[in-house]
Amino acid sequence: MYSVLLQISQLSKVFNRRTIFSDINFSLQESNSLTVTGINGSGKSTLLKIIAGVLSPTHGHVSLSISDKQIDSKDRFQQIGFVAPYLQLYDEFTAWENLAIVRKIRGMNIDDGYLISLLRRMSLEERKDELVRTYSSGMKQRLKYAFALLHQPPILILDEPTTNLDESGHEIIYDIIEEQKQSGVVIIATNDSHEVRLCEQVLDLDKTGRYEVNKVLA
Ligand SMILES: Nc1ncnc2c1ncn2[C@@H]1O[C@H](COP(=O)(O)OP(=O)(O)OP(=O)(O)O)[C@@H](O)[C@H]1O
Ligand SMILES: [Mg+2]
């Protein structure tokens, strides 16, 4: 078992002189889960991208330590699984090739059996040798989960987690979130009232100027 500590300090983001949010502070440890909520354009995706390290903050910083070891910000992505509508898959490759390419690029020591088990979990095993460009939008969303879980990351960040998914897809994702809550950290961005309650804490970006993390009320 590892310990995880993700600390968000005085985080602000300004786009073209428009302040999206400012002075966000919170910290999450293993077994903590957070939902980020707020109206369209309130900055949910922006915040998740900054935490994942794909976007820089205007002020403030994100720090991550795993088992008391500080992780360099350029290596943070290795500790994070990220699923989001704007993340791209390699369309001209099959699902299997997509996973195998990432395994190779990242030098991961993962056997084929584990890749198959991920595809099976997402109900994609039978379609694994078909080009991703021929996939339906829900199948693409399922493949993004196989990607995100490939390296069994201590932190899972899910922007609109169930976009394009059917009912069975929702159930699979809710199970994945529950499992992640056992040992790691999970952060989701959603406006779905059911999904807000999947996490123990909530950060509401509509409460301008008072970004407090609150317990989700039962
Ligand atoms: N690259 C960018 N350049 C300029 N402004 C941007 C950029 N990305 C996002 N914004 C602005 O930042 C604000 C927050 O956008 P963001 O996508 O984070 O919102 P959101 O809460 O995820 O919205 P939604 O619920 O629609 O997904 C919006 O006003 C948006 O126009
Ligand atoms: Mg968004």
Q: How far apart are CA 133 and CA 92, in angstroms?
A: 6
Kindly identify the ligand whose nearest atom is closest to the C-alpha of 51: 1
**Does residue 135 carry a pLDDT above 90?**
yes
Task: Label residue 2 by pLDDT band (50, 70, 90).
Answer: confident
pLDDT tens digit sequence for 177-208: 999 999 899 999 999 999 999 999 999 999 76
Q: How far apart are CA 101 and CA 6, in angstroms?
A: 29
Query: In this predicted structure, what is the pLDDT of residue 183?
Result: 86
Task: Label residue 209 by pLDDT band (50, 70, 90).
Answer: low
Tell me the CA–centroid distance for residue 27 and ligand 1, in Å.
23
pLDDT tens digit sequence for 54-85: 999 999 999 999 999 999 999 999 999 999 99
Query: In this predicted structure, what is the pLDDT of residue 154?
Result: 97
The C-alpha angle 11, 17, 22, rounded to 5 degrees, equals 20
**Phi/psi at 172 (nearest 5 deg)?**
-60, -45
Is the CB of 40 within 6 Å of ligand 1? Answer: yes
Query: In this predicted structure, what is the pLDDT of residue 62?
Result: 97
pLDDT tens digit sequence for 73-119: 999 999 999 999 999 999 999 999 999 999 998 889 999 999 999 99
Beta bridge partners of 26: 8
pLDDT tens digit sequence for 23-53: 999 999 999 999 999 999 999 999 999 999 9
pLDDT tens digit sequence for 145-171: 999 999 999 999 999 999 999 999 999
Q: Annotate 146-210 with DSSP letters as a single string.
A: HHHHTT--SEEEEESTTTT--HHHHHHHHHHHHHHHHHSEEEEE---HHHHTTSSEEEETTSTT-
Is the CB of 20 within 6 Å of ligand 1? Answer: yes
Q: How far apart are CA 202 and CA 103, in angstroms?
A: 33
CA distances from 167 to 21, 109, 126, 138, 171 (A): 34, 33, 19, 11, 6
The C-alpha angle 26, 61, 32, rounded to 5 degrees, equals 30
Is the CB of 86 within 6 Å of ligand 1? Answer: no
Tell me the CA–centroid distance for residue 47 and ligand 1, in Å.
10
Task: Label residue 210 by pLDDT band (50, 70, 90).
Answer: low
Task: Label residue 215 by pLDDT band (50, 70, 90).
Answer: confident
Cα torsion at 86, 92, 93, 94 (round to 10°)?
80
CA 41 to chain centroid, in Å, comes to: 19
What domains are defined for the chain? 32-44+79-215 (3.40.50.300)
